[in-house]
Amino acid sequence: MLRPDLDAFLHAIFLQKQKYTLTGCHCLYSPYESRGERRVELWRRAIFLFDKSQHERGPFYEASYRDFFCEPRTAEKLTPDIIGFSSRFFCIVDISMSDQKGIEMKKYETVTLTEYLKTLFPAASERKNCGYPFLVTDLLPATKYPGYNLIQVYQPGSAEIEHLEDEVLLKSFRDWTGFVFPVPSYGILAVPESDEEELKPKLAGIFKKIATDGEEMTSEGIIQLLMGDLYSSFSAKSRANLRKKVENICDYVSDGVLREYARYDSSNKSIKITVDVSNPQSRAKFSRDIESWLKIIPLSYFVKEEDLPYDDFADKDEIEDNND
């Protein structure tokens, strides 16, 4: 638990940050109450660009980009959010809630695929880069810098195409009028880049499930619940980053606000939560302690994401590259 004076200080900063976020930015974006919900919805909409529903098709899907991989490593050691594949081309996609991300997009202009990605998504001939990379955002309006294609996915969406070599994809985006219907949820509760503050509400629900079921759950099982249908679509390194965040939180609550109920096994990377669910008072006290934990603001909330260290987990495609 934080000291009362420090807790109050951080809460004051939190309120100030929320005030700046609401009043300091003139951009409109998806109307979600939290940053975490907004991030997940943006990822859902980005994924649906490569998918279809009963009512509509995403523009990448329409142009036969049916396969994609999330947060892979390119041959240049860059990590875009998504690489999509058609039979002849590949596309680079980055997802951002920041209006300044466009400044960084030029680095993706000449990327190439690793041998691992070529093997994972084989093609009859060498795929070419479809053109400029894509930046997917929910900001409206979004600042457009030179050197990439901009996709605004909320609401309903629009595309500003600067340069594409793939004529089929170019036509698909010219014909696209945005998403009219809600996109699938894909069972996503969080993504690897979700921070601790964003993960807490989702983990609270999972902790209640563990307590109700009376079973132990590993960090791997938890991230499978968090990532839903997209679990296997993310690189091993990205899954490891999210798993590490979950393990840190499980360890923290077991020694802190949930120590009366939770036991974290660091060797098995698992958590067990014991609550007498047949006792209404025990259930009520556990719920109150969960709510108390949710109100604690982690220090990481006050650190910019770009300043956080990137965990150096070995990824399969990196291993492939090192063996070439």
- Annotated domain spans of the chain: 35-175, 196-323
Contacting residues for 83 by C-beta, under 8 A, at least 6 apart: 68, 69, 72, 74, 90, 91, 92, 93, 113, 117
Considering only residues 164 and 13, tell me which one the structure prediction assigns the higher pLDDT: 164
Place of tokens 């093609």: 123
pLDDT for 67: 97
| 172: pLDDT strictly greater than 50 | yes
Question: For the purposes of burial, counting CB atoms within 10 Å of the CB of 8, is it exposed (0-12), middle (13-18) or buried (19 or more)?
Answer: exposed
| 53: pLDDT strictly greater than 80 | yes
Average pLDDT over every residue of 259-279: 95
pLDDT for 29: 56
| 219: pLDDT strictly greater than 80 | yes
DSSP state string for 72-89: ---TTS---SEEEE-SSE
Q: How confident is the model over 101-144, as pLDDT tens digits?
A: 899 999 999 999 999 999 999 999 999 999 999 999 998 888 89
For the record, the structure tokens of 40 come out as 């997940």
Place of tokens 């030179």: 146
pLDDT for 19: 39
Direct distance between the N- and C-terminal alpha carbons of the chain, in angstroms, rounded to an integer: 49
CA distances from 117 to 120, 151, 321 (A): 5, 25, 10
* Spatial distance between the Cα atoms of 299 and 292, rounded to a whole number of angstroms: 16
| 43: pLDDT strictly greater than 80 | yes
SS3 of 265, please?
Answer: strand
Q: CB of 78 within 8 A of CB of 317?
A: no
CA 230 to mean position of chain CA atoms: 10
* Spatial distance between the Cα atoms of 248 and 2, rounded to a whole number of angstroms: 16
Average pLDDT over every residue of 185-206: 95
Residue 231 CB neighbour total at 10 angstroms: 17
* Spatial distance between the Cα atoms of 148 and 131, rounded to a whole number of angstroms: 9
DSSP state string for 222-255: HHHHHHGGGGGGB-HHHHHHHHHHHHHHHHHHHH
Angle, helix 196-213 to helix 35-48, in steps of 10 degrees: 90
pLDDT for 147: 94
Buried b (16+ CB within 10 A) or exposed e, 280-293: eebbeebeebbeeb
Residue 51 CB neighbour total at 10 angstroms: 17
Amino acid letter, residue 264 = Y
| 11: pLDDT strictly greater than 90 | no
* Spatial distance between the Cα atoms of 186 and 229, rounded to a whole number of angstroms: 5
Q: How confident is the model at residue 298 (pLDDT cuts 50, 70, 90)?
A: low
For the record, the structure tokens of 54 come out as 């009963």
For the chain, count helices (H), then strands (E): 10, 10
* Spatial distance between the Cα atoms of 222 and 268, rounded to a whole number of angstroms: 13
pLDDT for 153: 93
Considering only residues 6 and 204, tell me which one the structure prediction assigns the higher pLDDT: 204
pLDDT for 299: 53
For the record, the structure tokens of 198 come out as 């964003």
* Spatial distance between the Cα atoms of 12 and 256, rounded to a whole number of angstroms: 23
Share of the chain above pLDDT 90, in %: 73
- Mean residue pLDDT across the chain: 85
Average pLDDT over every residue of 40-68: 97
- CA-closest candidate to residue 84, choices 233, 187, 240, 238: 233
| 10: pLDDT strictly greater than 60 | no
Question: For the purposes of burial, counting CB atoms within 10 Å of the CB of 146, is it exposed (0-12), middle (13-18) or buried (19 or more)?
Answer: exposed
* Spatial distance between the Cα atoms of 54 and 69, rounded to a whole number of angstroms: 23
